[in-house]
Structure 1
Amino acid sequence: MIGEMEDLKYEDNPDPGRWRHRKEKGAGRSAMVFVVVLLLFGVLGGGAWFGWNRYSGYFFAADYDGPGTGEVVVAVKKGDGGSAIGATLETAGVVKSAKAFVNAAADDPKSTTIQVGSYKLRKQMKATDALAMLLDRKNMTVNGVTIPEGWTKMQVFEEFSKKTGIEYAEFETAAKDISKLGVTAEWLKRTDGKKVDKSNIEGFLYPATYELPEKPTADGILKAMVKNFNAEMDKLNFAATVQEKYDISPYEALVAASITQVEALLPEDMGPTTRVLYNRAYSGKFPCECLQLDSTVNYWLRLQGKEGKSSEKLTVDELHGEDNPYRYNVKGMAIGPISNPGDIALKGALDAKKSPYYFFVTVNAAGKMAYGKTFAEHEANIQIACKNGIPIC
């Protein structure tokens, strides 16, 4: 809960709809069972494999080992048991496996007190930590608005307008000078000679769940979002890191992260995709030293109230029109962000390891990227994508 949105408190529910699970018989003696299984394995050799395979799922359930990063909202529904909650957490990327959560819940009697509702958790958490957060009412959302990674400012304004009744135009007015909303001076300059538009809040609306106060205002909501952005950037040491590693301004790296958020689907592709953007804009080895991306052109169309288009439907004027500051062949990094990037994309901008690549393309339904050093390699990757049914041919 951020800034002036911190005052709401959870009101007790007389019928909280707690979920129930049945603790496996003998779970308290798990260590002894483990020893017995090991002994059986040693005595019976291969014949003990069945028993080992059965119990190893309990002791070695896949689990993350850290406190997690970012933010995600998950719902515990009425009637959900430990397995159902575990499955929800696994699907949301909170825990590595549902089994790890079930094991953690079985070992903690308090797990039966988890209440029905929505919770703010983190991604890639150790199962016991996820359980602890579900048991803490402070993590329940009461009157929250969730902003996903990759949304544009237009989508953010629309969502808050819908949830609060505040006119969309009031958000536009409140965002006319981002320095008055808490965006600090280090974000208002670039190293490439281009100017930062102080009336453009794109990129600074950090994706998260925001609790609404009793009487929300457009100005208050946007200030809370920028405050959250600043806090997350401080945690990442974002500004200092990009200046030291890449000799570019924090704003330029934010622009790159916003593009990567739109272009890359998988966490492992965030860094490599951002490196392609850096290579194109800053290496001096890419012929036009430009990005040549449909995503920036489509962002410009959306700013005009139009729908985005697939590559083959974009016109020459839309791609290259001089009135479009996000046009295809503009030299250097894009003039501004095209979305509001989340934690993983921002980390990708910080950890864009050196590579010889200047091209990327999604090559399968899972979202995996392939990279090329030359246009010929890129065309070969496109053919792979076409064979896999990706609609880019």
Structure 2
Amino acid sequence: MIGEMEDLKYEGNPDPGRWRHRKKEGKGRSVVALVLVLLLLGGLGAGGWYGYDRFAGRFLAADYGGPGSGEVIVEVKKGDSAAAIAQTLLDKGVVKSTKAFVNAANENSDSTGIQVGSYKLRKEMKASDALLMLLDLKNKYVEGAVTIREGWTKMQAFEAFSKETGIKYAEFEKAAADISKLGVSPIWLKRTDGKKVDKSNIEGFLYPATYEMPENPTATAILKLAIGKFNAEMDKLNFAETAQTKLKISPYEALVAASITQVEALLPEDMGPVSRVLYNRVYTDDFPCGCLQLDSTVNYWLRLQGKEGKSSEKLTVDELHGEENPYRYNVPGMSIGPISNPGEIALKGAIEAEKSPYFFFVTIDAKGKMAYGKTFDEHNANIQVACKNGIPIC
């Protein structure tokens, strides 16, 4: 199976960083720091650990290893340095030490790009991830605004819009009944593979971004706002023309691939290669069924039914292969529709996918790295690597 690492990722994606690189500290400073640590440990007695923890937070590069959890609002003020932002992050429980964040800022040549404002971050984040989230304007917090995350489904977007505005969820479903009336161009409403585009399916067209709600908002006005953003971003990427000229497929089919890639790939560098695997499976004669064989499409169908997604081993035969499921495991060709709303990196990956001989991919470590295989034997070997690394797919 492709993409055997579940549960599915329907959220999150970042961008780049701030502050110039600092000169390497000399040995003298290291010695002074060591002496200070020894004095601190030796001189504070029973209360020393609290003082040491404060000291370590400021001078040592203690760091969290994961993406964090929950949500916290962090404010970046005018004139804030890397150190000032680092202290704010430490005080809010986002990073484990100020030093880790300052190091991350020094190592990122784009790190001068953080803008003044408030941002939605998570608690106990790896410092470099926190930096990337501060640079991603989609994480900027604006009161009364709604942020659609990369990989969210239309259901999640409708829920977020409804929660913020008080407009009933059903109103968004009703407003999305014909996407051509919301600003979706006819070029997106046809495919080259013989399948039909469902004009009542807005999935894939709700571009991930932060949307400030209009005065006296309606469901129709909000969805038009999101599709207007989609159209503008697709023009910037030259997405439709590239899909047609380079890939020889319809823009809609490339959008479907991007939506699947957004869910399957965790790292930016895997977006293109994963999209290429999808294309190799359905647009060449070298993969026996000419189908995707993805748990992610099956899980999307479950979510459309109001159910929870499942890990690979828990999906039943009926869920995988039921004829009533148009997103089923072995249905020939590219999926009938998008399964998420992809962001810029996934969209670029879908149209810039370099050719490769691969038909399989699997996540092989906790960082989200993918391994690729030409044959099922190679794929099984990659799965064994994943199992040795603790990825729960065996």
TM (normalized to structure 2)?
0.71
Q: Match for residue 212 of structure 1?
A: 213
Q: Match for residue 57 of structure 2?
A: none
Q: CA deviation at 1:100?
A: 6.7
Q: Match for residue 98 of structure 1?
A: 105
CA distance in 2, matches of 1:104, 1:171: 38
Q: 1:373 to 1:220 in 2, by over 3 A?
A: same
Contact 1:178/1:199 (<8 A) preserved: yes
CA distance in 2, matches of 1:325, 1:307: 18
CA distance in 1, matches of 2:109, 2:240: 40
Q: CA deviation at 1:81?
A: 5.7
What are the within-5 Å matches in structure 2 for residues 116-127 of structure 1? 117-118=118-119
Q: CA deviation at 1:149?
A: 0.3
Look up the equivalent residue of 2:105 and give its one-letter code.
A
Q: Match for residue 57 of structure 1?
A: none
Q: RMSD across aligned C-alpha pairs, in angstroms?
A: 3.7
Q: Match for residue 305 of structure 2?
A: 304
Contact 2:151/2:263 (<8 A) preserved: yes
Look up the equivalent residue of 1:223 and give its one-letter code.
K
Q: CA deviation at 1:284?
A: 1.4
Equivalent pairs counted in the alignment come to: 311
CA distance in 2, matches of 1:104, 1:385: 33
CA distance in 1, matches of 2:362, 2:229: 32
What are the within-5 Å matches in structure 2 for residues 335-350 of structure 1? 335-350=336-351
Q: 1:194 to 1:104 in 2, by over 3 A?
A: closer
Contact 1:157/1:168 (<8 A) preserved: yes
Local SS of the residue matching 2:232: helix
CA distance in 2, matches of 1:50, 1:363: 39
Q: 1:102 to 1:151 in 2, by over 3 A?
A: closer
Contact 2:283/2:290 (<8 A) preserved: yes
Q: Mark the runs of 5 or more structure 2 residues left unpaired by the alignment.
A: 1-19, 31-71, 96-100, 121-127
CA distance in 2, matches of 1:264, 1:96: 27
Local SS of the residue matching 2:310: coil
Q: 1:142 to 1:354 in 2, by over 3 A?
A: same
Look up the equivalent residue of 1:246 and give its one-letter code.
L
CA distance in 2, matches of 1:95, 1:202: 39
Q: Match for residue 370 of structure 2?
A: 369
Local SS of the residue matching 1:336: coil
Q: For each residue in 1:305-330, what CA deviation from the matched residue of structure 2 results, as whole angstroms up to 9, or x when unmatched? A: 11111111111111111110000011
Contact 2:117/2:141 (<8 A) preserved: no
Q: 1:372 to 1:221 in 2, by over 3 A?
A: same
Q: For each residue in 1:164-223, what CA deviation from the matched residue of structure 2 results, as whole angstroms up to 9, or x when unmatched? A: 110000000000000000000000000000000000000000000000122111000000
Q: For each residue in 1:124-150, what CA deviation from the matched residue of structure 2 results, as whole angstroms up to 9, or x when unmatched? A: 9xx9xx99x99xxxx873421111100
CA distance in 2, matches of 1:362, 1:309: 17
Q: Match for residue 248 of structure 2?
A: 247
Contact 2:145/2:164 (<8 A) preserved: no
Q: Match for residue 82 of structure 2?
A: 82
Look up the equivalent residue of 1:82 and give its one-letter code.
A
Q: Match for residue 14 of structure 1?
A: none
Q: Mark the runs of 5 or more structure 1 residues left unpaired by the alignment.
A: 1-26, 38-47, 54-72, 106-110
Local SS of the residue matching 2:236: helix
CA distance in 1, matches of 2:274, 2:215: 42
What are the within-5 Å matches in structure 2 for residues 97-176 of structure 1? 97-99=104-106, 117-118=118-119, 141-176=142-177
Local SS of the residue matching 1:183: coil
Local SS of the residue matching 2:372: strand
Look up the equivalent residue of 1:277 and give its one-letter code.
L
Q: CA deviation at 1:350?
A: 1.4
What are the within-5 Å matches in structure 2 for residues 180-191 of structure 1? 180-191=181-192
TM (normalized to structure 1)?
0.71
Q: CA deviation at 1:75?
A: 3.6
CA distance in 1, matches of 2:388, 2:191: 42
Local SS of the residue matching 1:215: coil
Look up the equivalent residue of 1:307 and give its one-letter code.
E
Q: Match for residue 359 of structure 2?
A: 358
Q: For each residue in 1:317-373, what CA deviation from the matched residue of structure 2 results, as whole angstroms up to 9, or x when unmatched? A: 111111100000111100000000001000100111000000000000000000000
Q: CA deviation at 1:82?
A: 3.3
Look up the equivalent residue of 1:384 and give its one-letter code.
V
Contact 1:82/1:102 (<8 A) preserved: no
Contact 1:143/1:212 (<8 A) preserved: yes
Q: For each residue in 1:78-106, what CA deviation from the matched residue of structure 2 results, as whole angstroms up to 9, or x when unmatched? A: 89763253696x99xx999423789987x
More divergent stretch after superposition (305-314 vs 74-83):
74-83
CA distance in 1, matches of 2:266, 2:111: 30
Look up the equivalent residue of 2:82 and give its one-letter code.
G
Q: CA deviation at 1:386?
A: 0.6
Local SS of the residue matching 2:142: coil
Q: 1:177 to 1:116 in 2, by over 3 A?
A: closer
CA distance in 2, matches of 1:104, 1:250: 34
Contact 2:144/2:164 (<8 A) preserved: no
Local SS of the residue matching 1:76: strand
Look up the equivalent residue of 1:76 and give its one-letter code.
E
Contact 2:204/2:341 (<8 A) preserved: yes
Local SS of the residue matching 1:324: coil
CA distance in 2, matches of 1:274, 1:190: 17
Q: CA deviation at 1:52?
A: 12
CA distance in 1, matches of 2:236, 2:102: 22
Look up the equivalent residue of 2:187 and give its one-letter code.
E
Local SS of the residue matching 1:365: coil
Q: CA deviation at 1:283?
A: 1.2
Q: For each residue in 1:264-284, what CA deviation from the matched residue of structure 2 results, as whole angstroms up to 9, or x when unmatched? A: 000000000000000001011
CA distance in 2, matches of 1:348, 1:297: 22
